[in-house]
Structure 1
Amino acid sequence: MNALDTTLLLLSAAVLGVVAFRMLQLPPMLGYLVVGILIGPHGFGLAQESSATHELAEFGVVFLMFSIGLEFSLAKLMSMRRAVFGLGMAQVIVTIAMAMVCGLAAAQWLPGHFNIGWEAAFALGGALAMSSTAIVSKMLTERMELESPHGRQIISVLLFQDLAVVPLLIMVPALASHSGDLAETLAWAGGKAALVLFLLLFLGQKLMRGWFRIVVKRRSQELFMLNLLLITLGAAWLTERAGLSLALGAFVAGMLISETEYKHQVEEDIKSFRDVLLGLFFITIGMLLNLRLVIEHGWLVLLLLIAPVMLKFGLIAALARVFGNSTSVSLRTGLGLAQAGEFGFVLLNQAGGLKLLDPLLLQLILASMVLSMLISPFILAKSDAIVMKLSANEWMTQSLALTQIAARTMNVKKHVIIAGFGRSGQSLARLLSEEFIEYQALDLDPDRIREAQIAGANVSYGDAARRESLLAVGINRAAALVVTYTNTNSALKILHLVHELNPSLPVIVRSHDDTDLNKLRAAGATEVVPELMEGSLMLASHALVLLGVPLRRVVHRVQTARDERYESLRGFFHGASDMVDGPENLQLRLHTVVLNARAKSLGKSLADLNLAELEVDVTAVRRGKNRLSPEQSLILQEADVVVLRGTAESVARAEQRLLK
């Protein structure tokens, strides 16, 4: 099977797997893993493992860590240093120590199944200490929990695990060969790693903004993308050369770009690379699972699955509690990190190559690690329910938080509920306060909430997309609700809850553009404010006033555009500099069609063509220098220019109807 055959097989299998799991309302990640199991060498044998495939798949983790780095900054990382070098280091060291104790005890009690020395137990402990950066980070991102207290703890531990891989990869072969220069080797590796991180974090920070400014001034989307790939892969290459992981370098690169004004553009551009390659990574993980071995040694694989996951969960939860986290945060941190990780496979393969482990035992441990990654999305999805059952006071903690919100709003009526207390939410709160209108805000960033509460803001920790939070904040007594962040899925959940709890409550929703305008209106939004549309209106109004148009006429035009729900502004002519639409992007666009002598629409009226059934509007028809009103009775002629408005797909169908 050549490279093209393998690529087509992986792509087709991935598409079918993701479609099936989406229909079952399961995480797409599981679809990739199951696809890998089925087509891999231990399944139907359609695809074989190769180093090239694994190396390509590893870039998925690289781009994922780069995206996560975009959510952080150097200042935020410094504020997390206690969690990274405190909790993270403790987790790795204690996990290795406990794994060594358990491994040696198992070898003593079950010599027929576990015949390992202390060097092998150390290698197994290092592998067990690793957690899956790819799975956990992706799940936290999808659940919008990266900024939550447990999300920060989890990311901190994952970062230290990436750092710990380097000394572990040095120590395992040194211990196996009983080398005497271990300290010197570790010191040399640590020095190289520290130097590279210093260059990236401090010199890179000074160079990044200036270099991006030079690239952006060239006004080339192609150059911008090439530069982005160069920085991401270049930083990953540097850290790998220093003995660190590729993913750590990509994380640092993302963190540096997060402090520039190009963060959001970079985030959109990198998304397609990340998702495709990350899917390939999960497929390669699934290909490692040997189902025949699992069936033949089922009880042993089950033991090797349950025991490490439970041990790791309990250990991490206990350590997180020791480091001052609440019980619920500690339990969620333990659940998030209980599975095996990608670097665990690297350490395990190294131990196998050094003949530290019996080949059969190695395969059984490998199978249990893959299974732990396979069940991880289910554990994370049910983490709230698990924590509620395990923690006797968790429901009391949540009830207390809701009670505190309710206590603040108990005597408040006709107030405005602000969902999200970012920059937009804070600006709205300031204007409401100046007009002596009460408000109550909900947000999920504990640092922001603490700072704002000290300053006297009426903001509480809570998720506006949860029924309990809305009830606690007094939705039945509120005058309006404003969603100040641009997350359509969350806004739709809020609108659904408002429809159930207080159907007459006006809801104003912020959106990025007009892509989801109709969807949000249909869900019950009283007003949808697309920030790109409003920005266009403000630019136009200032320009018209400066050009001498009477202020009253300008205000009338702006108000008319708003009254008609931005209908006249919807759609625009796309160019090479515009982001390419994704498969789910339903953004309206304008497109011109010139009718040539062979066009089949010549002599027909717009009513005859019935373009409305294709969900396309004709916004204008230009004939020579004249702009004609697109009446349904208008007969089209040769050389007419027809301006269409619709999605990319619907406009393409309409063009076919006009010309062929």
Structure 2
Amino acid sequence: LAARWAPHAEVSLIEDSQSRGELPRAGHVVIVGYGLNGRNLARVLAETSIPYCVIEFDGVAAADARREGHPVLYGDATRTHVLERAHVGDAIVVVVAIRDAAATRAIVRAARRMNKTAAIVVRTHYVAEIESLYALGADDVIPEEFETSVEIFSRVLQRLDIPPNVIAAQIDVLRAEHYALLRGAARTRRYAESIYDIFMAATTVTYLVREGSPAIGRTLDEIGLRRATGANVIALVRGGQAITNPPLSTVIERGDILVLLGNHSQIAAARAALDPVEPPPPS
């Protein structure tokens, strides 16, 4: 217990000089906090030979980091002399991954004052902190609960066969707006317009014609996908052979793979038209 609470007093810094050598002095990453996120980041940086150091205010966590071979400063990162010992002024990235909201704000403010060009990345538990942390100089603020939401809708869109580049573009827009949509902020309309533009953009998907599809045995002209949905069949793969721009007289067979072109609403309508008809439940 004493070891865990010791850092709350004024303590001397402990500089790790074991297996990974002296603390880096320039061009490095400073990690504030050796919780789950800080630990994972430190491991990745160590494995990729990117210079870094860890600042930890908790005695037990600092000892853990030191035992695992990471360069550690044991002290309070809200204090300027601790940041100076970590050479924050010459770092290229500063990552703040602690739970204390007030301490996080103080560290971001001090780090930006010491280094005008470093990228400051902050993890926060508190939605209300997002804008204030950006105002203090953070470059990226990662709210944990919103990132979970982002991951969920990313997985949902993958299940809906939305192309990965479109999903990535949506996430980029969402983050660029500082999660305004999820926070219900005033910029939601601009974000929604950006998402609308993405969804209206043309994309291609492949569709496997399964047993029971109403398209089987009918020609492309009879199916009339373009007339009914706006989507076009720009290619067909049958028996491993690709047919580009198949003629309207082409008869669809089970196992054909259709390459559909259209925006997302058109693709969704085309999929619905091609999907097998479910038999009615027995009475």
TM normalised by structure 2 equals 0.59
Instruction: Tell me which amino acid in the other structure corresponds to 1:532.
Output: E
8 Å CA contact 1:483, 1:508 repeated in 2: yes
Cα gap change, 1:442/1:516 in structure 2, threshold over 3 Å: closer, same or farther?
same
Shift in Å, 1:410: 5.0
1:460 to 67, 73, 96: 73
Shift in Å, 1:488: 2.1
8 Å CA contact 2:55, 2:77 repeated in 1: yes
8 Å CA contact 2:177, 2:187 repeated in 1: no
Work out the CA distance in 1 between the residues paired with 2:150 and 2:128: 17
Instruction: Tell me which amino acid in the other structure corresponds to 1:416.
Output: V
Identity among equivalent positions (%) equals: 27
Instruction: Tell me which amino acid in the other structure corresponds to 2:73.
Output: S
The corresponding residue for 1:335 is none
Work out the CA distance in 1 between the residues paired with 2:4 and 2:16: 21
1:461-492 CA distance string (max 9 Å, x none) = 12111101100011122111000123221111
The corresponding residue for 2:26 is 413
1:331-385 CA distance string (max 9 Å, x none) = x7xxxxxxxxxxxxxxxxxxxxxxxxxxxxxxxxxxxxxxxxxxxxxxxxxxx5x
Instruction: Tell me which amino acid in the other structure corresponds to 2:145.
Output: L
SS at match of 1:440: strand
Cα gap change, 1:542/1:405 in structure 2, threshold over 3 Å: closer, same or farther?
same
1:513-561 CA distance string (max 9 Å, x none) = 4211111111111111111111101000011101222222112211221
Q: Which structure: greater helix fraction?
A: 1
Work out the CA distance in 1 between the residues paired with 2:52 and 2:126: 26
Cα gap change, 1:422/1:439 in structure 2, threshold over 3 Å: closer, same or farther?
same
The corresponding residue for 2:143 is 530
8 Å CA contact 1:416, 1:480 repeated in 2: yes
8 Å CA contact 1:464, 1:494 repeated in 2: yes
Q: Which structure: greater strand fraction?
A: 2
Shift in Å, 1:418: 0.4
Instruction: Tell me which amino acid in the other structure corresponds to 1:462.
Output: G
Of 508-517 and 410-419, the range deviating more from structure 2: 410-419
- TM-align CA RMSD: 2.8
Instruction: Tell me which amino acid in the other structure corresponds to 2:103.
Output: S
Cα gap change, 1:619/1:479 in structure 2, threshold over 3 Å: closer, same or farther?
closer
1:485 to 88, 98, 108: 98
Shift in Å, 1:414: 0.9
8 Å CA contact 1:409, 1:474 repeated in 2: no
Cα gap change, 1:501/1:406 in structure 2, threshold over 3 Å: closer, same or farther?
farther
1:149 aligned onto 2:33: no
1:252-282 CA distance string (max 9 Å, x none) = xxxxxxxxxxxxxxxxxxxxxxxxxxxxxxx
Instruction: Tell me which amino acid in the other structure corresponds to 1:465.
Output: T
Instruction: Tell me which amino acid in the other structure corresponds to 1:445.
Output: D
1:449 to 62, 81, 86: 62
Work out the CA distance in 2 between the residues paired with 1:618 and 1:475: 36
8 Å CA contact 2:7, 2:57 repeated in 1: no
1:514 aligned onto 2:166: no
Matches within 5 A, 1:258-407: 398=12, 401=13, 404=15
Shift in Å, 1:405: 6.0
The corresponding residue for 2:36 is 423
Work out the CA distance in 2 between the residues paired with 1:430 and 1:538: 23
The corresponding residue for 1:501 is 114
Cα gap change, 1:547/1:525 in structure 2, threshold over 3 Å: closer, same or farther?
same
The corresponding residue for 1:436 is 49
1:552 aligned onto 2:165: yes
Instruction: Tell me which amino acid in the other structure corresponds to 1:149.
Output: A
Work out the CA distance in 1 between the residues paired with 2:187 and 2:177: 16
SS at match of 1:516: helix
8 Å CA contact 1:409, 1:473 repeated in 2: no
Shift in Å, 1:500: 2.7
The corresponding residue for 1:561 is 174
8 Å CA contact 2:97, 2:122 repeated in 1: yes
- Which structure's CA Rg is the greater one? 1
Q: Which runs of 5+ in 2 are unaligned?
A: 191-283
Instruction: Tell me which amino acid in the other structure corresponds to 1:526.
Output: D
Cα gap change, 1:566/1:618 in structure 2, threshold over 3 Å: closer, same or farther?
closer
Instruction: Tell me which amino acid in the other structure corresponds to 2:168.
Output: V
Cα gap change, 1:498/1:409 in structure 2, threshold over 3 Å: closer, same or farther?
farther
TM normalised by structure 1 equals 0.27
Work out the CA distance in 1 between the residues paired with 2:23 and 2:107: 21
SS at match of 2:99: coil
1:5-61 CA distance string (max 9 Å, x none) = xxxxxxxxxxxxxxxxxxxxxxxxxxxxxxxxxxxxxxxxxxxxxxxxxxxxxxxxx
Work out the CA distance in 1 between the residues paired with 2:7 and 2:49: 37
